[in-house]
Amino acid sequence: MNQQQPNNPLHGLTLEKVLTRLHEHYGWDGLYEHVSVNCFHNDPSIKSSLKFLRKTQWARDKVEALYIRTFS
């Protein structure tokens, strides 16, 4: 059941990889400017941000859209 998704720029990427690459590119302050969620502003870390983004679909959608705009 390994389906190819040639039109999906996020295919094969985990949320952790997306977040790590965005953090390396923008830093926490830059991420907060683009996606205004407190997990990027108040004591940010990859672990706490992943926990929040996995539970909050609207924030995850914004992070994924930022990744696509930045790296595609």
Residuewise pLDDT in 10s, the chain (72 residues): 456 666 788 888 999 999 999 999 999 999 999 999 999 999 899 999 999 999 999 999 999 999 999 998
Best CATH choice for the domain 15-71 from the list 1.10.357.10, 3.30.230.10, 3.40.710.10, 1.10.720.30: 1.10.720.30
The whole-number pLDDT of residue 2 equals 54
Give dist(CA 24, CA 46) in Å, integer.
11
Place of tokens 């996020």: 10
Positive or negative: CA dihedral 68, 48, 44, 32? positive
pTM value surpassing 0.75: yes
* 21 exposure class (CB count in 10 Å sphere: 0-12, 13-18, 19+): middle
The whole-number pLDDT of residue 35 equals 95
Give dist(CA 29, CA 37) in Å, integer.
11
